[in-house]
Structure 1
């Protein structure tokens, strides 16, 4: 029953942002974490009743030395073609570049590798497992660390690569994903990153949790602000003049 709630929210996001069209070939970026595993299951279920017929594959990027046999077995069970791409991302980020703040470089390398391989495999779309909490955290990180009002989009068209990035979980809270992961006992692969849970994003996550306790409705209002473009007011000097 709980999966139906998530499926309903994903279906609404797909509809609101026109994420899926007839004859799409969609590559799910399957990291093995709870978010990407939930996304894979949701899209597989959605595929069975979607008004648009589409293909689904899964791509896993191995940063180096990770045993992903459990993902091979899962995709075989779900009858989803699975592709594991070996990379040297971990070596580049931590051994060669020795990044103190590795997340940005790692994300760029992973994004590039995922998109390139999706292209080579004939996909026109890549689905990522970002959820509502990810959006709120990115929104605040952009303001706090970059001084701008910005967040990733539920759907991004990348003309140069002839790809569209979609995020069907964007209406789903992280706690819901944790519940369904536990309920269905998804085979979560341990994150091999040395910086896992020791990042600026983790600090922002904890700050939002604290604020939401002290000011009830904080998370709801922040997400509402992301969807309220009609009432966006920033100091545009030319317009104010």
Structure 2
């Protein structure tokens, strides 16, 4: 049987990643390397055992997410590579995303071409020289676009209200345009596991719906994908990675300067839960991939109206929800919680 490349990536991710794969065994050979074949960004990686384990974990989790959600098309190959627009804000998440994707590509595990993109939104105090210098110093193909969305947001939204919703809509529309101009199949974002859980609880508490950030979606026009390869990665791992790599972080002075954001409240709640019960966020992340429509209340997902007992016929309702067993919880922690 001959598998397409996308299928092969998903198969390898599921069946061979228990040992992280032999391709990662000598991964710290790149640290402080002068080999011209090693991407310049990767040469900054610390050579400690602890950091090696952290890098391996992030690479494994990204590769699993890419495989599990079919982010690479079946027909992709080294001679037929799609273009991905990797969005860089200057924060820890997007820097880590770019570094992980560059390493996966360099190791021959990601047959795509990467174009780094920063959208300068004309925020006060934004240092326009940092990201161009970072890209040029590391030989990274990139594009810088300046669009004054800051003035639009601050003009349309009262000062005491949060800017995030309008800001993100404007930013996404511009990124879609850039992706089309650059011939990209997808825009790639640095959202991680904790972002996904925060969005779930935001929707639960304030939106009255069960929804979050999917690792892969298609835009309304149907011509571009939105990908989140760090969907399985914990924020604390990303923070440690960013600190170790000494990325030139650019703080957000627009949304980040507003106090009392609902998302910040949810973040504090989740962090408190994780502190009290380590591994809890991993269990909750696993739950997002194991829904049972017959045990919820959505009549559009499950036909409750026509559900009737039938003599001698098995029902697909599954009966009452089972309590999670210890083995299931242990597996959840192993798969999703930071090691």
Structure 2 length-normalised TM: 0.67
- Match of 1:40, SS state, is helix
Q: 1:162: how far off?
A: 1.1
| Partner of residue 44, structure 1 | 102
| Partner of residue 20, structure 1 | 72
What do residues 188-209 of structure 1 show as CA deviations (whole Å, max 9, x unaligned)? 1122215446321111000112
- Match of 2:118, SS state, is strand
| Partner of residue 175, structure 1 | 236
| Partner of residue 146, structure 1 | 207
In 2, the alpha carbon distance for the partners of 1:45 and 1:203 equals 35
Q: Does 1:240 align with 2:309?
A: no
Q: Does 1:185 align with 2:246?
A: yes
In 2, the alpha carbon distance for the partners of 1:214 and 1:8 equals 27
In 1, the alpha carbon distance for the partners of 2:110 and 2:263 equals 36
| Partner of residue 88, structure 1 | 148
CA contact (8 A) 2:162 2:258 kept: no
CA contact (8 A) 2:157 2:163 kept: no
Q: Does 1:160 align with 2:221?
A: yes
Q: 1:165: how far off?
A: 0.8
1:203-214 equivalence runs, <5 A: 203-214=265-276
Q: 1:81: how far off?
A: 1.6
Q: 1:57 aligns with which of 115, 119, 129?
A: 115
- Match of 2:221, SS state, is helix
- Which has the larger Rg? 2
CA contact (8 A) 1:47 1:54 kept: yes
Q: 1:168: how far off?
A: 0.5
Pick the structure with more helix per residue: 1
What do residues 154-199 of structure 1 show as CA deviations (whole Å, max 9, x unaligned)? 0112361511111000010000000011111111112221544632
Q: 1:137: how far off?
A: 0.4
What do residues 207-240 of structure 1 show as CA deviations (whole Å, max 9, x unaligned)? 1122333455431222121010346621145722
Task: Single out whichever of 63-72 and 190-199 deviates more from structure 2.
Answer: 190-199
| Partner of residue 5, structure 1 | 57
Structure 1 residue runs without a partner (length 5+): none
Q: 1:52: how far off?
A: 4.8
- Match of 1:229, SS state, is coil
| Bigger relative CO (Cα 8 Å, ≥ 6 apart) | 1
Q: Does 1:69 align with 2:129?
A: yes
CA RMSD of aligned residues (A): 2.0
| Partner of residue 5, structure 2 | none
CA contact (8 A) 1:61 1:84 kept: yes
Structure 1 length-normalised TM: 0.92
CA contact (8 A) 1:68 1:189 kept: no
- Match of 2:72, SS state, is coil
- Match of 1:61, SS state, is strand
